Amino acid sequence: MTGVYFVRHAEPNYMNHNDELRELTEKGLSDRKLVTDFLKDKSIDVVLSSPYKRSIDTVKDFADKYGHQVVTVSDFRERKIDSVWIDDFTAFCQRQWIDFDYKLTDGETLREVQARNINALKWVLKEYRNKNIVVGSHGTALSTIINYYDASFGYSSFNNIKGLMPWIVKFTFEEDSLQSIEILDVFA
C-alpha cells in the first residue's frame, strides 16, 4: 500500500500577489506545527512539495524535524489564474468549476491543472511505491485531484474547504488503484 498525504498549505499572506513567492502569515507559520504533530507518527518516507513557497514552508517544519529533504515537483503547483490579480475570486472559481475548460487569457483551466497534478501523482506512485509520502499542495490543485477520483467533489465542496488551512487529505493506493480518500483534521 502507498499512502499519499496531500497537505494544503497553511494561511498565506494574500497581500503578496506573487503566487510563487507568497509566504505564510504568522498564523500560518504557527499552524504548520499542527502538520508536524499530525505527521510525526505516520512513518513518512519522503516529503515532496509544489515549488511554491507557502507549500514548501508548510511541510518544511516536519521535514527538518524528522530529517527529510523537501523535494519540489513542479507539476504539483497551483493553477495559474492570470497574469494580473483578480478581485472577484469567488465568481471566477464558480465559473471554472461549472466549466472545467474555462480560463482567463494567461491562466489554466481546471482540466489542465487536474491533468498536470494527476500525472505528477502517477509518477509518485511509480517512484515511491509502498511508501508513505507527504506532498505540500494547494486548495485548487488538491481539489482537482479529489475530483478526478470522486466527481461529486465540485464547487460546493471546494467552497467548503476554502478557509481550511492547513488541510490534509490521505489517498491510499494498492499499486495504481485508489483504495480510499480520507479527509483528516489537523485541528482535532
CB 6 within 8 A of CB 121: no
3-state SS class at 27: helix
95, 122, 125 from 175: Cα distances, Å: 35, 10, 7
Residues contacting residue 168 through CB under 8 Å, at least 6 positions apart: 5, 6, 7, 8, 35, 38, 183, 184, 186
CB 108 within 8 A of CB 80: yes
Alpha carbon distance 107, 101 (integer Å) = 11
CB 5 within 8 A of CB 40: no
Would the pLDDT of 188 be above 80? Answer: no
Percent of the chain at pLDDT exceeding 90:
89
CB 171 within 8 A of CB 6: yes
Between 160 and 186, residue with greater pLDDT: 160
- pLDDT confidence band for 89 (50 / 70 / 90): confident
CB 81 within 8 A of CB 40: no
In the chain, the amino acid numbered 95 is R
pTM for the whole thing? 0.95
Percent of the chain at pLDDT exceeding 70:
99
The pLDDT tens digits of the residues spanning 73-85 come to 999 999 998 887 7
Structural domains in the chain plus CATH codes: 2-80+110-184 (3.40.50.1240)
Nearest CA-CA partner of 121 in 154, 145, 152, 149: 145
- Provide the pLDDT for residue 110: 97
Alpha carbon distance 32, 114 (integer Å) = 25
